[in-house]
């Protein structure tokens, strides 16, 4: 999974503001540290959608400073981001990928919809079409 570093700042009303060094456009808030970090996942996904919409590669997590909190992007969304970045690296469009996979473009659109629960076999098939391999592990 991709673990993005976050900054936590106590606001004047005792809530916690969350910022992402890798995504200045992503911000969140919570009454407790736990709530702020939980809400930060939605802010991160929203920021990633901006990159997808702009057809830009998504920055990978920067180095973690000592004692810094992180927000983990869920596994499926991590796979989608990595596929997206590989597609961008190869300078492919969604239409190109749809042709490579022999599917209709709406299937590829859903694959890159971070709020859509894509099937793992399609994620794996896409990785293979891009000349990559999906690996999964437990820690």
Residue 97 CB burial class (10 angstroms; 0-12, 13-18, ≥19)? buried
Domains in the chain: boundaries: 3-72, 75-129
Q: In the predicted model, is pLDDT for residue 137 greater than 90? A: no
For the domain made up of 3-72, give the CATH fold: Double Stranded RNA Binding Domain (3.30.160)
Enter the pTM of the model. 0.93
**Sheet with strand 16-20: strands edge to edge:** 23-30, 16-20, 3-10, 69-72
Tens of pLDDT, residue by residue over 69-127, are: 999 999 999 999 999 999 999 999 999 999 999 999 999 999 999 999 999 999 999 99
């Amino acid at each position: 999974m991709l673990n993005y570093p976050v900054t936590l700042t106590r606001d004047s009303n005792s809530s916690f503001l969350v910022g992402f060094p890798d995504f200045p456009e992503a911000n969140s808030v919570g009454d407790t540290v736990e709530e702020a970090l939980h809400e930060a996942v939605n802010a991160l996904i929203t920021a990633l959608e901006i990159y997808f919409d702009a057809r830009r590669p998504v920055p990978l997590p920067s180095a973690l400073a000592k004692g810094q909190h992180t927000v983990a992007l869920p596994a499926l969304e991590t796979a989608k981001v990595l596929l997206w970045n590989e597609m961008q690296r190869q300078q492919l469009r969604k239409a190109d990928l749809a042709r490579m996979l022999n599917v209709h473009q709406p299937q590829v659109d859903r694959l890159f919809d971070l709020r859509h629960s894509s099937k793992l076999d399609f994620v794996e098939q896409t990785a293979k079409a891009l000349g990559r391999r999906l690996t999964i592990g437990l820690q």
